[in-house]
Structure 1
Amino acid sequence: MGVLSHLRVIEIGSSAATCYCARLFADFGADVQKVEAPAGDPLRRSAPLTPGGQSAWFAFLNFNKSSIIIDKAGPDAITRLTELIEGCDILVDGRDVHPADCPSIDVAAIRRRRPGLIYLEASWFACDSPYAEFAATDSTVRALAGLIKLVGPVEGPPLHAPDFQVGIIAGLWGFVAAASSAFARMQGGAGRSWALSIFESSLALSEYQLFEALARSDMMHRIGVNRFWPNFPTGIYETKKGWLGITTITPAQWRAFCDMLGLSELRDDSALVLGQDRLQHREKIERQFMPRLKTRTAQEWFAEGLKRKIPIVPVPEISDLLQGAEKRERGAIVPVLLGEEEGLTTGSMQRLTLTPPRRGGRVPAPGEQQTFAIARRHLSDAASASSGPIDADGLPLHGIRVIDFTMGWAGPLCTRTLADLGADVIKIEAVQYPDWWRGVDRRPAYVDDQTYEKTLRFCMINRNKRGITLDLTRRRGRTLAKRLISRADIVVDNYSVDVLPKLGLGYDVLRTLNPQLVVMSMSAFGTNSIHRSCRAYGSTLEQGSGLPSVIGKPDGPPLMSHIAFGDAVGGLNGCAAVLVALMHARNTGQGQFIDLSQIECMMPFAAPWITIHSIGGTPPVRYGNRHPDFVPHGCFRCAGEDDWIVVAATEEDMWQRLATLVGRPDWATDTSLKSAEARRGIEDLIERAIEAWTLSRDADRAMSELQAARVAAGVARLPIDLLNDPHLRSRAFLQEIERAFIGLHPQPSMPIREGVAPYAIRIAAPTLGQDNREILSKLLGLSDAEIAQLAREGIIGTAMLSEEKLAKDKIRASD
């Protein structure tokens, strides 16, 4: 029995987001009943298809569920569906994205009768959004979210992946909402009702660039394939054999990279110390290092990079992922049955070691009950009756304490989400080694001006937390950390795998302090990987996931789709994993270790191609801006400088409206063009006609006219454009909060809401060591004299050390 086997989930409607949310519950043993019409979920027909005609995308989203057929036209349809929902714990509703012929039900009335019910409703935007009536696809939403315009060649068009992205991100957010509610209900609360905006959920990927642009007053633009502002180099490069993903952020990494390639002139150039400085000289730098990369293979450079602690990684093909044993052994790639076909797909990335997820499963045929689901109990009347009235002011994770050893983006996003949901998150830094998102510049001017307190990216990702400094390299610092941990529920770190164990803070030590403790390591490859010591950033994770090999043009290089795609994805997967382990700990008193590999967290985005290749052995099709199902589908130039719009025709009627709008009514009435496959034969001609139409209009006017005709379209926005987005303004998505050093500044809300308003931002991100006294005195009982002594010894502090002072501190600590 899985850790969530006490839960029954009903899934209605059709959306990738709700499918994936429900599958995450199934991964850990929940009884997930998928309600379908006689024709089945429309996603069953989505390409790419296996040789046997099964949808690889549907398979990834739905294995280990059961299927129940309810005919909307049947006399007892509403009664049957109502009874199902009244007997479940969680209702996951995707009808606003696609109703899928689901019978109409009164969810509000059901919730009044069953106050223990947890309800999650997903929509592309939100019912109160100016975009509420927009026709949408994965790609049009990503365009509006600022995730497309910065990718691809300078001259355009922007390049983007097919529609296998926002459903995964939104599904993770939906799971976080529902799982946190299930935990809160275990504490004696009632069910909760959540609204999930798929558009807002995708902003988790673009919020970093939004805040970087805002901080620097810099209008971003595309700077070439596999190049991303503000760091350089952060991209994919050709070697003697294979492609290599490279990321250099810190001055030390840049120097090591130059040493590896024998480029001492670049290493010693004081104008190239920081990534944003190197970006200004990118052409000159690439001319020097690219030829040298071609003298050795990607694997050889990877081995060199490991020795030198440089974040570089070979860029695998899908076949490489399938041939390697490690991903199967860890459960990142699992077997899946699709009818009579046996294939592989990506498994659960929430690697709980005591209560692991299922390793693969079967995709249900329409109406098929899986054998493991038949014996599951329905929600008992006692469990439902124990739920009291909803506490509107109570946050789901109120009373949970998290010790946060994370830096950068991925780990802090995990802990920020826990904090947003009500957990008391204590962030631990050191004046010697503060969070690198405060800045990696150690020169005196940066430190003396306290610029490290003025970085918006740090403030964005660390709100709602308390902050303390402890030098963990010293015994007294570690002792205090252990005392904090003994009073906590969760510990999260995203250091390299050996950092905390070498400090005497490994899981074997921590579990003796607190047997119920949930400890998560968010490393790049995983604690038992042969590449466990590899350094990585969010860009490295995408580079090594297999995803770039299936994106872009057929004759082009592997293509990155984001500067740091893997960070936000790793953070959300980490949050989901912690919530599952937390429920188990409260049920059983047993804590456990979570071995989260962030590079594995990126692999679901390549899941359809993994399945197709595992069955047929054929190389994945690279579509460029086209789509396996929709014709036309692409990114088209509009009037104005570098203005673009994504347009898609998702079904026959939409195609006919689009053809009429762009001045080709003959195409709309041509019966030979009814199907997408028939139109694929003249796709070039169709695209030229659309672009001739869009070129005569600015992007917003084109979107307005297309949406008025109910054609899916989204302007390709820059991240900075989100500050004035009508949807985000109307929904108060960006909240203003005051903080020392920077004053009033915006903060993004969570994309999950329990009411009309977003969860309020309670406190701004802490300044360095801001809460030292409060935490050390009130929580640990230290006296003022003891706290003052810690400050004199440099174990705590409130000011970052410059390079010179850091060197002196190391000498003092070793005396």
Structure 2
Amino acid sequence: MTRPPPLAGVRVLDTSEGIGAPFCAKLLGDLGADVVKVERPGTGDETREMGPFPDDAADGPTRHEASASFFFLNTSKRSVVLAAETTRWREQLAALVQRFDVVVAGETAESLDARGIGYDALRRWNPEVVLTTISGFGSFGPHSAYESSHLVSCAVGGWTHLCGLPDAEPLQVGGALSETLAGAFAAAATQLAVLGRMRHGRGDHVDVSVQQAVLAGAQIPTMLYEYRGIVPERYSSVGAGAGACCMLPTADGTIGINALTGRQWRMLCDFFGRRDIADDERYRGVSWVNADERVDEIRAAFREALGDRTAEALFHQAQAWRVPFGLVPDMAGMFALPPHRHRGFIVPLDHPVAGTVEVPGIPFRATGTEPRPYRPPLLGEHTEQVLSSLAEAPPSQSGETPDGDSPLPLDGVRVLDLSMFFAGPVCAQIAADAGAEVIKVESVQRIDGWRGSAASHAGTDLPGWESSPYFNWVNRNKRGITLNLKDARGVSIIKRMVRDADILIENYTPRVMANFGLDYDTLREINPRLVMISLSGFGADSPWRDYVAFGMSTEQMAGFTHLTGYPDGEPLFTGTTGGDLFAGVMGANALFAALNHRDRTGEGQHIDFGQVEACSLYVGDAMTGWSLAGVDPGRVGNGHHHYPLQGVYPCRDNRWIAITCKTADHCAALAELIGDAAVAEGAAGCRDAIAAWTAPRDHVALMADLQAAGIPAGAVMNGPDLLADTHLAARGGLLVQDRPGLGPRRYPAQPYRFRRAAPPPNERAPLLGEHSSEILREYAGLTDDDIAELVIDDVVGTVPIAAR
């Protein structure tokens, strides 16, 4: 019997175009929501003309039905065409809104208000509607009217500052990752608003900023400057971790070498037969923050050690040593990855014009539900079906809901967070910020690896495990407990806590939870309503199930690095541990969909989640370009396949400005500012003229001047710029938390805001084992004597054993 998808019964009206907002609606549709896309007559969504196209449709009358960009971004939707901006259009739109739960719009609230279809208007039609708006800078703040692009978002969010080589211009991250990341955040926030409506009977307006999504993804500039006063340089050839992190050519491609912990560093040196490097004092503490000639020495030594081995052989050999090497596939190679095929992540969709097209599908398997994408619609394919059904489906009968704050969407939800490092904790952080009670579980035998991030310590008298900015950021709004899960008493306590839990999050390799005796089948016997998500690198039923994956190996395997780099240059890191956060946000989408299903049916479930699959979904448009049209977009530097002019140009004091001219009007406006008519043609040869004009100017002031002329532009911001950004401050984009021994520190907030929900909590991350006693009393029923015995036996504690 076919299992239902988790969002069955949720109805979404997608009024957006482009990439970010359609990606949000696509994710909701792939998870089972009924999504209806509203398109313009004649041309439809702008991505119908973006391609790439198969050769036999490139110039034909059905070209707009065979665009790979549209194909991927609009799976699992129906299409209706409404006559634009007429009285009849407004009547039809109102009738649709009355019958739908969610409206997704790719513009600001101000823009919608000007068209008479803002949130207040939608509430008059449907008082419980959820409106999600996605725009470059969000719907409020001094820059809310600014024009944006993927390049501009990368610049103003801190990503471009990190990406590229130190002797060349900084780079945008490849693909459209800023927009798809914002879309994934928007989908998670939309699901939260829907859960809040189910629980509290009120809709909401969710406002998403692409700049803030990038700030979350590229958190390193703000974190390092806030904690250590460091402004990191561009070392995309090295990555965001130890000096051993690099990508090197092999006999058959590129191999990603990633050693992010001290243990992995030693194992890596042993793997290459170079223990002398591990033992050499000169190479201690080499990292991207202080990269120097030692990094080049290490890379040269490892390049020699590769010999004539292939990337495939090196990958499997290193994984046998538990060192997280990563393959660096192109788009064709991503379709050939064994886990993708084995787990059914690659899905063939039959389309009446494009034929059978393979696309990346759902990055998880679940025990209780079965989401699956279906083909994208033809333009207006469902207009008659949808409009004729309006008479059959009665509109919402709910009355006007009062103003004032609603409870947070996950108020009353209890989460056990057994995850470490980044992907799982990000998933738990999103739940915590939405009001869930999250209990972070560590042990004195094995603390969260982010606590030991030596390059991050603040230089205070605090022990290192309490002063890592990354741990402190991603674990806010959680309470902390330590439990040794290799001790039967620790396992017994977790089982008692599971009785009253709604969610359990873990990101071990698949064998670990079973070894603890905490596999899902065991926990389901204790609590059938439990939703458990396991975020492993490759999935529990993958042929690579026991392989290790970290953020940088994930971005290699998921195509991020293949798409990032200078034209005709080598693949480069994005400059952050981006793969982790991307996986965590997608994990939150899977988790909230399962919670929606649980709230409606009472049925818990286990989500077997693959992080590499999840990250591959963010570049699904590029993957679909290969499968549908045989086109791999490759690396375009700071260029764009469709815009007449785009680039990053030098400014005063070795700073940079990102400029996008999407149209001829943008080019003409830039030409007028510069006083060079050649720029109006958007010719590649005008780069020198633009650079000569930008070079003496301040990058932040120039951004304002260009935006005033209607040109999408963004200063390439570093940590100090972001912390001083008045727009981020106006949006509450940086949270201030006071940690004992550190004082106040600023951290990136979530990139979305709820208009009607109560303000999110803002509690600092827990000290190691800080809340163990109160949690053990409250949820496990232990006495003070019981707890004292556990402390003596190191089942519970506050100081890591390794630090004693």
TM-score range, shorter chain: over 0.9
Post-superposition offset of 1:158: 1.4
User: Secondary structure of the residue that 2:375 maps to in structure 1?
Assistant: strand
Structure 1 pair 434–275 and aligned structure 2 pair: CA distance change class (3 A): farther
- Distance in 1 between the 2:195 and 2:407 partners? 13
Matching residue within 553, 557, 562 for 1:540: 553
Moved more, 758-767 or 74-83: 758-767
Question: Which of 205, 216, 233 is equivalent to 1:221?
Answer: 233
Distance 1:383 1:324, change over 3 A: same
2:624 to 608, 611, 625: 611
**Structure 1 unmatched ranges of 5 or more:** 674-678, 806-815
Q: Report the CA distance shift for 1:757/1:73 in structure 2 as closer, same or farther (over 3 A).
A: closer
The question of 1:789 aligning with 2:803 is answered no
Relative to the length of structure 1, the TM-score reads 0.91
Match for 1:396 among 377, 393, 409?
A: 409
Please list, as runs of the form range in 1=range in 2, the aligned pairs for 1:141-160 lying within 5 A after superposition.
141-160=153-172
Relative to 1, partners in 2 of residues 1:379 and 1:739: Cα closer, same or farther, differing over 3 Å? farther
1:761 deviates by: 3.5
Q: 1:9 maps to which residue? A: 12
Within a 5 Å distance, the mapping from 1:523-562 to structure 2 comes to 523-562=536-575
| Residue identity opposite 1:41 in structure 2 | D
Query: What pairs up with 1:711-726 in 2 under 5 angstroms?
Result: 711-726=711-726
Report matched runs for 1:594-673 at 5 Å: 594-641=607-654, 643-665=655-677, 668=680, 673=681
Q: What does the per-residue CA deviation read over 1:100-140, in whole Å, with 9 as the maximum and x for residues that have no partner? A: 99964354133145322112122221333221221211110
Name the amino acid aligned to 2:103: L
**Counterparts of 1:618 and 1:184 in 2: how far apart (Å)?**
42
Moved more, 381-390 or 454-463: 381-390
Contact 2:163 2:173 in 1 (8 A): no
Q: 1:244 aligns with which of 255, 261, 265?
A: 255
Corresponding position of 1:330: 343
Indicate yes or no: 2:180 matched with 1:177. no
Deviation at 1:400, TM superposition (A): 0.6
2:26 matches 1:23: yes
**Cα root mean square deviation, aligned:** 2.8
**2:81 pairs with 57, 69, 85, which one?**
69
1:425-440 map, 5 Å: 425-439=438-452
Post-superposition Cα deviations, 1:353-403, rounded to whole Å, max 9, x if no partner, equal: 431211x42221221129998999999769753996566151100111110
Instruction: Output one character per residue of 1:240-264: Cα deviation in whole Å (capped at 9) or x when no partner.
Output: 3221111112111111100111112
Q: Which amino acid in the other structure matches residue 46 of structure 2? A: P
Q: Secondary structure at the match of 2:123?
A: helix
Aligned equivalent of 1:340: 353
Partner letter of residue 136 of structure 1?
S
After superposition, what is the alpha-carbon deviation per residue over 1:686-734, rounded to whole angstroms, capped at 9, x for unaligned?
2222112112322223222221211111111123421111211222321
Between stretches 716-725 and 568-577, larger displacement belongs to: 716-725
Q: Distance in 2 between matches of 1:56 and 1:10?
A: 22
The residue number in structure 1 matching 2:598 is 585
d(CA) in 2 for partners of 1:341 and 1:380? 33
State which drifts further: 513-522 or 632-641.
632-641
Q: For residue 501 of structure 1, report the CA deviation from its aligned partner.
A: 1.0
**1:46 maps to what in 2?**
50
Q: Does 1:494 align with 2:507?
A: yes
User: What is the Cα deviation at residue 662 of structure 1?
Assistant: 2.0
List per-residue Cα deviations over 1:11-62 (Å, max 9, x = no partner): 1132422211111111122211111121312222224344324332222111
**What SS is found at the alignment partner of 1:361?**
coil
For 2:305 and 2:249, how far apart are their aligned partners in 1? 10
Q: What's 1:507 paired with?
A: 520
User: Match for residue 63 of structure 2?
Assistant: none
- Find the aligned partners of 2:766 and 2:338 in 1 and give their Cα distance: 43
Q: Deviations over 1:784-807 (max 9, x none)?
A: 11111111111001111226x5xx
CA contact (8 A) 1:33 1:67 kept: yes
- SS of the equivalent of 1:200 reads helix
Q: Work out the CA distance in 2 between the residues paired with 1:585 and 1:387.
A: 28
* 3-state SS of paired residue (1:363): coil
Contact 1:97 1:122 in 2 (8 A): no
Matched, 1:89 2:101: yes
Aligned twin of 2:61: none
Partners of 2:213 and 2:540 in 1: CA distance: 29
1:165 maps onto 2:177 in alignment: yes
Alignment deviations for residues 201-243 of structure 1 (CA, whole Å, 9 cap, x no partner): 22111224421332222121113x4223553222211123221
Structure 2 CA distance for aligned equivalents of residues 446 and 640 of structure 1: 29
State how far apart, in whole Å, the 2-side matches of 1:391 and 1:32 are. Answer: 29
Counterpart position of 2:736: 736
Report the AA paired with residue 571 of structure 1. Answer: G
* 1:352 equivalenced with 2:366 (yes/no): yes
Deviations 1:296-319 (A, max 9, x none): 111121122122110112211221
Letter aligned with residue 227 of structure 1: V
Evaluate the alpha carbon distance shift between residue 355 and residue 466 of structure 1 in structure 2; reply closer, same or farther with a 3 A threshold.
same
Residues 323 and 772 (structure 1 numbering): CA distance in 2 closer, same or farther, change over 3 Å?
A: closer
Query: Contact 1:334–1:347 (CA<8 Å) still a contact in 2?
Result: yes
State yes or no: 1:419 paired with 2:422. no
Q: CA 1:112/1:657 → structure 2, altered by over 3 Å: closer, same or farther?
A: same
Residue 809 of structure 1: aligned partner: none
Structure-1 residue corresponding to 2:586: 573
One-letter code of the match for 2:44? G
- Identify the residue that residue 366 of structure 1 maps to in structure 2: 379
Give the whole-Å Cα distance in 1 for the aligned partners of 2:399 and 2:593: 21
Q: Which amino acid aligns with 1:253?
A: Q
SS in 1 for 2:572: coil
- Which residue, 400, 422, 445 being the options, matches 1:409? 422
Report the AA paired with residue 14 of structure 1: E
Contact 1:337 1:363 (8 Å CA) reproduced: no
The normalised TM-score by structure 2 is 0.92
Q: Quick one: structure 1 residues 380 and 182, their matched pair in 2 at CA, closer, same or farther if it must change by over 3 Å? A: farther
1:257 partner letter: L
Aligned position for 2:62: none
Give 2:635's aligned amino acid: R
Tell me the amino acid that sits aligned with residue 288 of structure 1: A
1:487 partner letter: D
1:564 aligns to what? Answer: 577
- Residue 133 in 1 paired to residue 137 in 2? no
Indicate if the aligned counterparts of 2:444 and 2:796 stay in contact, CA closer than 8 A: yes
Q: 1:219 to 1:101 in 2, by over 3 A?
A: closer
How many angstroms apart in 2 are the aligned matches of 1:194 and 1:564? 27
Which residue of the partner structure matches residue 191 of structure 1?
A: 203
Q: Distance in 1 between matches of 2:716 and 2:732?
A: 22
Q: Percent identity?
A: 32
Amino acid at match of 1:458: F
1:690 aligns with 2:690: yes
**Structure 2 counterpart of 1:813:** none
Are the aligned partners of 1:65 and 1:363 in contact in 2 as well (CA < 8 Å)? yes
Q: 1:633 offset after TM fit, Å? A: 1.0
State the Cα deviation string for residues 281-332 of structure 1 (Å, max 9, x = none): 2122122112212431111211221221101122112212223454144243
- Deviation of 1:735 after TM superposition, in Å, equals 2.3
Is contact 1:37–1:100 with CA below 8 Å preserved after alignment? no
Q: Does 1:79 align with 2:91?
A: yes
Whole-Å Cα distance in 1 between the matches of residues 633 and 782 of structure 2?
61
What secondary structure is seen at the aligned counterpart in 1 of 2:534? strand
Equivalent position to 1:266, from 277, 293, 296: 277
**Counterparts of 2:91 and 2:362, CA distance in 1:** 34
Segments of 5+ residues of structure 2 without an aligned counterpart are 59-65
SS in 2 for 1:394: coil
Deviation of 1:504 (Å): 0.7
Q: Which 10-residue stretch deviates more, 396-405 or 270-279? A: 270-279
* Cα distance between partner residues in 2 of 1:690 and 1:201: 29
What SS does structure 2 have at the residue aligned with 1:488? coil
> Are 1:750 and 2:750 matched, yes or no?
yes
- The one-letter amino acid of 2:28's match is F
